[in-house]
Amino acid sequence: MADDAPQTYYDAVYHDAPVRALRFSQSTSIDGLTGLFTFTVWQRTAVRNGFVQTRTRPVFLIIASLIGALAIIVWFGVARGLAPLIDLEDAIARRSASDLTPIKRRIPQEVTGIVGRFNDLVGELSRTMEAKNAFISDAAHQLRNPIAGVLSLAESVANAKTLAVSKERSEDLLEAARDAGQLANNLLTLERAQARLPQDSKQRFAPLPILQEVSNKAATLAQEQGIAFQPVLACGNISLYGDPVMFEQAVLNIINNAMVHGGTHLKKIALTAHRVADRLEVSVSDDGKGIAPKDFDRARGRFSQVGPSAGSGLGLPITAAVAEAFGGRIELRNENRRFSVTMMLPHT
């Protein structure tokens, strides 16, 4: 028996109707007659298309219904799922320079970390703005009288009738201007010490050279006022991490406090620096009138003075702020008729 011929599909027309035909050849035997027979079969195209449509239309309807139902479910699910985020967006949009309160509403667990960090930043910004406002208020309040005094002295110099009077009042004006300038510098120093400094402004440095320079300056000032100055710097080669300028300013402030507030009985001032365990202790002591232990807290306050004095009341607050910026603290003592202020700073 010969091999079967390949099948052929084609479109045709039968009785004026389009049909789909199949022609193939096959070797077979029919009633004893054997040979290669060619068979042709066809089906009306309309019947085929109707069958396909009958079978596929319900499937399409089911699929369309499923897609529509899924779209509605997804839409409601997304809307419900995003509702907390939309509320969170609204809460953030409500925050402004006049409203920096933390976000306390319920939030999705997935954004808890982000909202927590946002609240930390808002809190830090709020504290910074409060500190800036307090600084502006304090500066305006504290500088008002010195500026008024400078203006008054300037007018008196301008209205002086003789050269001698003018020169005398000019000296008073110069002293008043210096006091006002010192107050402004102290205010800026305090603000800088209380502010959180960026990391790039901090560095590791050796305190000994700075203490030696401060000691030289203090010795000159003490000699001019007839005060004995005794430095004992035994801190070795240890180092501190922070702002060296602020460290120097803090030590100078302690020494200046001793000279300004020591009183008429002040004869000696001692500057000592030594290593104690994991910290550096820098202490300034004097034999002046000192501060009673009951007034220690008051002396730490900004613009606070225990008694009448020409100082600005910022010396100890500046020193305390610098010590805290270094991760340390200050300690006041009044023992054996000597008052001392000690900075305790961790060394590296």
Q: Which of 194, 227, 253 is the endpoint of a domain?
A: 194
Indicate the number of domains in the chain: 3
Structure tokens at 180: 């006002």
Contact partners, residue 191, CB within 8 Å, separation at least 6: 131, 135
Least confident of 134-143, 217-226, 287-296, 329-338: 134-143
Q: Is residue 183 part of a domain?
A: yes
Q: Are residues 269 and 331 in the same domain?
A: yes
Which H helix or E strand runs over 148? helix 112-158
Domain containing residue 231: CATH number: 3.30.565.10
Amino acid occupying residue 42: W
Q: Are residues 225 and 295 in the same domain?
A: yes
Q: Are residues 24 and 161 in the same domain?
A: no
Contact 336, 277 (CB under 8 A): no
Q: What is the mean pLDDT of the chain?
A: 81
Least confident of 48-52, 190-194, 197-201: 197-201
Q: Which pLDDT tens digit goes with each residue over 267-311?
A: 999 999 999 888 999 999 998 887 887 877 776 766 556 555 555
Q: Are residues 212 and 333 in the same domain?
A: yes
Q: Report CA 148 to chain centroid distance, whole Å.
A: 38
Contact partners, residue 21, CB within 8 Å, separation at least 6: 9, 10, 11, 12, 40, 41, 42
Q: Which of 194, 219, 240 is the endpoint of a domain?
A: 194
Q: Are residues 123 and 204 in the same domain?
A: no
Among 279, 304, 307, smallest CA distance to 190 is for 304
Contact 240, 345 (CB under 8 A): yes
Q: Are residues 225 and 301 in the same domain?
A: yes
Structure tokens at 164: 């001698």
Q: Which pLDDT tens digit goes with each residue over 74-108?
A: 888 887 777 777 887 788 888 877 778 888 877 77
pTM above 0.85, yes or no: no
Q: Are residues 174 and 130 in the same domain?
A: yes
Least confident of 79-83, 177-181, 198-202, 203-207: 198-202
Q: Which pLDDT tens digit goes with each residue over 134-181?
A: 767 766 766 777 788 788 888 888 887 888 888 888 888 887 787 777
Amino acid occupying residue 9: Y
Q: Are residues 264 and 327 in the same domain?
A: yes
* More confident site: 239 or 97: 239
Q: Which domain holds residue 138?
A: 110-194
Q: Are residues 286 and 315 in the same domain?
A: yes
Beta strands in the chain (DSSP E): 8-14, 17-30, 33-44, 203-205, 228-234, 240-242, 268-276, 279-286, 329-335, 338-346
Q: Is residue 102 part of a domain?
A: no
Contact 328, 279 (CB under 8 A): yes
pLDDT at 342: 92
Q: Is residue 43 part of a domain?
A: yes
Owner of token pair 């040979």: 35
- Tell me the C-alpha distance between 191 and 132, whole Å: 8
